[in-house]
Amino acid sequence: MISAVLAAVSAAPLASPLASPLASPLAAQPATPVYTPGKLTPAQQVARDVYKEIIEINTSVTTGNITNGAKAMVKHFLAAGIPEKDIFVGGPQPEKFNVVARLRGKNPAGRKPLLLLAHIDVVEALKADWSPEFDPFKFTEKDGYYYARGIADDKSMASIFVANLLRMKAEGFVPDRDIIVALTADEESGPFNGADWLVTNHRDLVDAGLVINEGGGGVLRDGKPLFNTIQLAQKITTNYTLHVTNRGGHSSVPRKDNAITSLADALSKVGRYEFPVKISDVTKSFFSQTALLETPVMGRAMKALVANPADKAAAAVVAGDEKYSSMLRTTCVATMLSGGHASNALPQLAEANVNCRIYPTETAEQVRVALEKAIADTTVKVLIKSQRPASPPATMSPEIAQPVARITKELFGNIPIIPTMSTGANDSRFFLALGVPAFGVSGLFMDPVADARAHGRDERMRIQSYFEGQEFLYRLTKQLSTNPAPVP
Ligand SMILES: [Zn+2]
């Protein structure tokens, strides 16, 4: 299904220019640059200012205060003329507020709102862990990149959504459906206080017919756009505890049975264990289309694997690239360790946390049983510690696929749009679980190796990519909120 839609998208609609009042004068000139270094347009300057402001408010999970970031964004919405009654700010914890702002539309056919979702909390970052020239909470520009914690994940999209809403408001644009911008807390460490809380407690605020969220984006190779993506599916995060107890004793009288040794053995087995390769509709589409852009060896392996997921040689080649490896199967990795109570005592307890990213068609219990089998030691208990609910993948529809293909062509040239499964989790799952289509789309292009720094040190965003992403999301938002949708 998905690949059929995608095939249709990358064929006809890409080639035809759009006849509509929204069609930009740039439409037929993909080469016209959106961004000129040192010369920001007024709309770009607004985006950069909002970006800098939200970046420099520390909203990290344990030391930050997300509410300060939320309130700063409220100021912009009010100044732009969004009435107070259309702005919500709140959350279950005083330091973890969310903001939801609504640009009212005409709603002629009762079309449900378009929700633009971005989280404004970020992963912790210590200055000492970053290169000396960067402070993770200072917006720094260097050699064509912006650097800071959250600069990619997810304050780029958050600031773009805010700036674009201000731009549309200033232009007097009245959409045909409400446009909601929701900037949320607790994506990184939650759920409970962010999108999940809004959906559960304030459904009316975020009730939408379509959600655009993080998770997608474009891929650069040698600085040139290679393909754009729409994220449809995601793996499911589940944590397991490996738990070993022992009667203990004096360390001067050791025995073969030992909680730490048993745990270490178990962890080694988990480290070596490989879950079976799975291919879903989404990854089938992804690998089939990526195969055409890859090296001949990788391309052949991807095609072989799609034809036969049991092809071990092909799986080994694809798994040789870490970008692709975790899309092939459930993965489990040891992330935390504790055990023992004294340096001169036999340990009575040893525990490890194993973090798994479960393939969407598998269950936490199936993975637990697989781990138990791989460990094959009844003294090691495998317990599900925390489990996030699974969500079905989104189904590609022309409503999203056609405008994404067209705007991609306008801005980046004739490149394919490839559906993806995210190996991490994002808040789209709360909407997908309710049957609301949620897509990861950003138009933000990055180098999958050099720029893959989210959650890590020296997180960065290519400046050109940021402003192109802003323009991409501006056009996409307008397109998705114009009714009837123009015929491509
Ligand atoms: Zn994120």
Give me the phi and psi of 421, to 5 degrees please.
-110, 125
Q: Which two tokens stand for residue 219?
A: 């891929």
152 alpha carbon to ligand 1 midpoint, in Å?
A: 8
152 pLDDT above the threshold of 60: yes
The pLDDT value recorded for residue 149 is: 97
Identify the residue with better confidence: 422 or 18: 422
71 alpha carbon to ligand 1 midpoint, in Å?
A: 20
Burial of 301 (0-12, 13-18, 19+ CB in 10 A): buried
39 pLDDT above the threshold of 90: yes
* Per-residue confidence band for 483, with pLDDT thresholds at 50, 70 and 90: low
398 alpha carbon to ligand 1 midpoint, in Å?
A: 26
202 alpha carbon to ligand 1 midpoint, in Å?
A: 22
The pLDDT value recorded for residue 31 is: 57
380 alpha carbon to ligand 1 midpoint, in Å?
A: 34
461 alpha carbon to ligand 1 midpoint, in Å?
A: 14
426 alpha carbon to ligand 1 midpoint, in Å?
A: 6
The pLDDT value recorded for residue 173 is: 96
19 alpha carbon to ligand 1 midpoint, in Å?
A: 35
123 alpha carbon to ligand 1 midpoint, in Å?
A: 9
Average pLDDT over residues 146-172: 98
Give me the phi and psi of 400, to 5 degrees please.
-95, -40
119 alpha carbon to ligand 1 midpoint, in Å?
A: 7
327 alpha carbon to ligand 1 midpoint, in Å?
A: 18
* Per-residue confidence band for 25, with pLDDT thresholds at 50, 70 and 90: very low
340 alpha carbon to ligand 1 midpoint, in Å?
A: 36
Tens of pLDDT, residue by residue over 180-202, are 999 999 998 877 899 999 999 99
Rounded to whole angstroms, how far apart are CA atoms 385 and 241? 6
H-helix or E-strand spanning residue 260: helix 259-272
28 pLDDT above the threshold of 50: no
154 alpha carbon to ligand 1 midpoint, in Å?
A: 5
Rounded to whole angstroms, how far apart are CA atoms 86 and 226? 40
Identify the residue with better confidence: 416 or 20: 416
As a whole number, the mean pLDDT across the chain is: 91
159 alpha carbon to ligand 1 midpoint, in Å?
A: 13
427 alpha carbon to ligand 1 midpoint, in Å?
A: 8
The pLDDT value recorded for residue 12 is: 30
Average pLDDT over residues 111-118: 96
The pLDDT value recorded for residue 190 is: 75
* Per-residue confidence band for 108, with pLDDT thresholds at 50, 70 and 90: low
> Please, what is the Cα angle at 7 between 448 and 323, to 5 degrees?
20
Identify the residue with better confidence: 342 or 2: 342
Tens of pLDDT, residue by residue over 419-428, are 999 998 899 9
Average pLDDT over residues 247-257: 97
Q: Which of 25-29, 156-160, 342-346 has the lowest mean pLDDT?
A: 25-29
Domains and CATH numbers, the chain: 33-215+426-480 (3.40.630.10), 235-387 (3.30.70.360)
- Contact between residue 95 and residue 181 where contact means Cβ atoms under 8 Å apart: no
Q: What is the DSSP letter of 34?
A: S
200 alpha carbon to ligand 1 midpoint, in Å?
A: 20
205 pLDDT above the threshold of 60: yes
Q: What is the 3-state secondary structure (H, E, C) of 125-176?
A: CCHHHCCCCCCCCCCEEECCEEECCCCCCCHHHHHHHHHHHHHHHHCCCCCC
454 pLDDT above the threshold of 60: yes
* Per-residue confidence band for 26, with pLDDT thresholds at 50, 70 and 90: very low
214 alpha carbon to ligand 1 midpoint, in Å?
A: 6
376 alpha carbon to ligand 1 midpoint, in Å?
A: 36
198 alpha carbon to ligand 1 midpoint, in Å?
A: 17
206 pLDDT above the threshold of 70: yes
287 pLDDT above the threshold of 90: yes
2 pLDDT above the threshold of 50: no
